[in-house]
Amino acid sequence: MSMNERDLLEDKHFEQVISDESICTKENIVYEKPETLLDVSMHYCPGCGHGVAHRILAEVIDELGIQQEVIGVAPVGCSVLAYNYLNIDMSEAAHGRASAVATGIKRVLPEKYVFSYQGDGDLAAIGTGETIHTCNRGENILIIFINNGIYGMTGGQMAPTTLPGMKSTTSPFGRDVATMGAPLKITELLAQLPGTYYVTRQSVHKPLNVRKAKKAIQKGFEYQKLNKGTCFVEIVSNCPSNWKMTPVESNKWLDENMLPFYPLGDIKVPKD
């Protein structure tokens, strides 16, 4: 049998298997694209946590059935194009201003579910003022905060969240706390403010953590209906490209270095 004939036979066999209706049943489906996630290629680097975070956000929106009721605000940073991936109403905000834009949208349309999606440079550097005052006012929005310890989009500069000793393009010998300050644990800080209702830190580097992060986003939306204040979900994430690691190495590094400094779990939970 020639190579060509063998290939044809294998193709035929493959077609038989995947077209076999007894296998391709609804019960056997283990993976489906959420409706809220558009069927387009994402620009994220391979293994980047942004893609996983988008997926679970889309799944929650589908499962709560709020696709027509939700409005998102995209940041500046690698997730600047989030509106191209989520099939919902979205607005763009200038760098750092997403929570202020979300505040305006929620106040004009209080019946809608409103969230911002922001990186650490966006939320904890240029947008520190907006973030603190949004949370202090207790705006009824959900803030999703992707902390990868670096300015991803612009080429890996030091962020407020960069770990002590961690190398970046602007701290090539590692972050020196004496001259560059200590990393800002903005999530713990925001939990102190009376306006925050639910504050939690999660990650998406392992399947169990992905499920927990998804649950946290779900709670953030559910609590929004109670009008009790700001819900804040931090997701500790990776940046394989600027950390200069493979995706697997970056998740291991995250586990061993990011999580001891940014421990996972709820920081503020509703009392009633």
Residues that bind ligand SF4 (CB under 6 A): 44-45, 48, 50, 78, 148, 152-153, 239-242
User: Least CB distance from residue 148 to ligand TPP, whole Å?
Assistant: 5
Alpha-carbon span 134 to 262, nearest angstrom: 22
Window of 4-12, 84-92, 106-114, 152-160 that interacts with ligand TPP by CB under 6 A: 152-160
Tell me, residue by residue from 72 to 91, as one string, x for binding to ligand TPP by CB under 6 A and - for no binding: ----xxxx------------
Side by side, which strands form the sheet with 265-268? Answer: 89-92, 70-74, 113-119, 142-147, 230-236, 196-203, 265-268
Q: Looking at 122, 130, 139, 234, which residue binds ligand TPP (CB under 6 A)?
A: 122
43: Cβ–Cβ under 8 A, 6 or more apart, which residues?
A: 81
94: Cβ–Cβ under 8 A, 6 or more apart, which residues?
A: 76
Q: Which two tokens stand for residue 63?
A: 């499962």
Tell me: does residue 119 bind ligand TPP (CB under 6 A). yes
Positive or negative, the Cα torsion across 176, 180, 185, 189? Answer: positive
Q: Which two tokens stand for residue 20?
A: 């076999």
Pick from ligand SF4, Mg ion, ligand TPP, none: which does 45 bind, CB < 5 to 8 A by kind? ligand SF4
Tell me: does residue 146 bind ligand TPP (CB under 6 A). yes
Pick from Mg ion, ligand SF4, ligand TPP, none: which does 240 bind, CB < 5 to 8 A by kind? ligand SF4
Tell me: does residue 120 bind Mg ion (CB under 5 A). yes
